[in-house]
Amino acid sequence: MAEIRLQQLAHSYQRQPRDAGDYAIRAMDHVWEQGGAYALLGPSGCGKSTLLNIISGLLEPSEGQVLFDGRPVNDLSPEQRNIAQVFQFPVVYDTMTVFDNLAFPLRNQGLPEERVGRKVREIAEVLDLEPLLQRKARNLTADEKQKVSMGRGLVRDDVSAILFDEPLTVIDPHLKWKLRRKLKQIHEQFNLTMVYVTHDQLEASTFADKIAVMYAGQIVQFGTPRELFERPRHTFVGFFIGSPGMNLAEVRTDGDAVRLGDIRVALPGPIAARLPALAGSRLQLGIRPEFVHLRSEPGADAWPVEVLHAEDLGTYKILAFRLEGAIFKARLPEEQPVPEGRAYVTFPAPWTLLYADDHLVEADA
């Protein structure tokens, strides 16, 4: 059990990286606190697995340090770091039975056989592997194998942390939910630090207390699912979290406001005060489809828009409309009728965010 701190950590698979593009992980500082359940969320190829392998010690970072409880562990092997890791695709020891597979890490630690048996049965019960304990691992189905893989990670309760690298990819959807609950239970029961890599936002938010969103080798935001939803600090977070993602439209400055086409959008004072400093940056206005107000009748401050099409998703509707040449989406409750042709929208001020070069412009900078 440990707090994991990353200091100025960077990694490149090239021997002599020249520019930022050569880095799989770009200089980052980050802290995973002891006992937390974290998700590392990001698209494929953003460096999630690299980061995980650096934490576990399978990969040596090119730059920076990894600290466990303040102690640098860069030179320690995975064994010495005492880390458990579950990989994306099941790894089982074919010739062993399921029992022996689960017992393997414990026996390697030299635990007495009686304790090994107890731990293995405990984990087998949690993962519903009891009926399979005496079966040879090679004859299992893919999701059974993956449960065995996970079991081997969970069976040691003295570990510094357990790292999961998209462990549920090969698992049936109905089992996924169940296993995620199980992981959560195990987390609460044993007070372990868990880091869960995924590219699925739902998986991340059901598992983790805090999510780190990774993009192009950097953690662009670290926060609760709610923070990620309400105040994305990077346009990528806005776009990646939520379905559909945040509406983003390019704007330009106009005094203490910004201009979207011919429309002048007023900004709150503290944000407007920062505008002069942002001259030269690429400015974008962002608002989540959930927060767009859309009505059929004109109203004060409402802008007329052209309704393009609507998708009915059963529990809500997604409506696309055009405003000043840019296409936006709005999420409407199921009972609200879809306006024909023309509608009127307002962007409520608290949910209308301004981004400069993809980063959120915040009041107190």
> Site for other proteins (CB under 8 A): which residue of 96, 310, 320, 360?
96
Any contact of residue 52 with other proteins (CB under 8 A)?
A: no
Q: Which is nearer to other proteins, 95 or 224 (CB)?
A: 95
CB 167 within 8 A of CB 147: no
Candidates 65, 74, 95, 185; binder of other proteins (CB under 8 A) is 95
Could you tell me the two tokens for 337? 């009728």
Considering only 77, 141, 189, 224, the residue that binds other proteins (CB under 8 A) is 77
Under rule CB under 8 A, residue 83 binds other proteins: yes
Nearer to other proteins, 64 or 78 (CB): 78
Nearer of residues 93 and 303 to other proteins, judged by Cβ: 93
Q: Is 141 a residue that touches other proteins (CB under 8 A)?
A: no
Report the C-alpha gap between 215 and 20 in whole angstroms: 13
Among positions 50, 56, 201, 247, the unique one binding other proteins when judged by CB under 8 A: 56
Does position 79 bind other proteins by CB under 8 A?
Answer: yes
User: Candidates 6-14, 145-153, 335-343, 351-359 — which segment interacts with other proteins by CB under 8 A?
Assistant: 145-153
Burial of 120 (0-12, 13-18, 19+ CB in 10 A): buried
Binding segment for other proteins (CB under 8 A), chosen from 149-157, 298-306, 311-319, 327-335, is 149-157
CB proximity list for 68: less than 8 A, separation 6 or greater: 2, 3, 4, 5, 81, 160
DSSP class of residue 170 equals T
78 binds other proteins (CB under 8 A): yes
Interaction of residue 1 with other proteins, rule CB under 8 A = no
- Judged by CB under 8 A, the residue of 29, 60, 69, 94 near other proteins is 94
The token pair at 151 is 């079991």
**Among the listed residues 183, 159, 11, 189, the one whose alpha carbon sits nearest the alpha carbon of residue 82:** 159
**How many other CB atoms sit within 10 Å of the CB of residue 134?**
9
Contacts of 161 (CB under 8 A, 6+ apart): 1, 2, 4, 32, 55, 83, 84, 192, 193, 194, 195
Contact 120, 106 (CB under 8 A): yes
Select from 53-61, 205-213, 278-286, 310-318 the region that touches other proteins (CB under 8 A).
53-61
Out of 108, 141, 185, 191, the only residue in the binding site for other proteins (CB under 8 A) is 108
What does the angle CA 22 – CA 24 – CA 30 come to, to the nearest 5 degrees?
Answer: 130
Gap between the Cα atoms of 137 and 218, Å rounded: 38
Q: Does 74 engage in binding with other proteins (CB under 8 A)?
A: no
Residue closer to other proteins, measured from CB, 7 or 88: 88
Beta carbon nearer to other proteins, 47 or 105: 105
Number of residues interacting with other proteins: please give it, by CB under 8 A: 27
Question: Judged by CB under 8 A, does residue 284 bind other proteins?
Answer: no
Contacts of 265 (CB under 8 A, 6+ apart): 251, 257, 258, 259, 285, 347, 352
Min CB(138)–other proteins separation in Å? 8
Residue (87 or 222) nearer to other proteins, CB: 87
For other proteins, the closer CB: 56 or 247? 56
Q: What are the distances in angstroms from CA 93 to CA 86, 136, 144, 165, 249?
A: 14, 9, 13, 19, 52
Q: Are 329 and 244 in contact (CB under 8 A)?
A: yes
Binding flag, residue 152, other proteins (CB under 8 A): yes
Give the angle subtended at the CA of 162 by the CAs of 57 and 77, to the nearest 5°: 20
Which residues in this chain contact other proteins in the complex, by CB under 8 A? 53, 56, 58, 77-79, 83-85, 87, 89, 91, 93-96, 104-105, 108-109, 135-136, 138-139, 149, 152-153
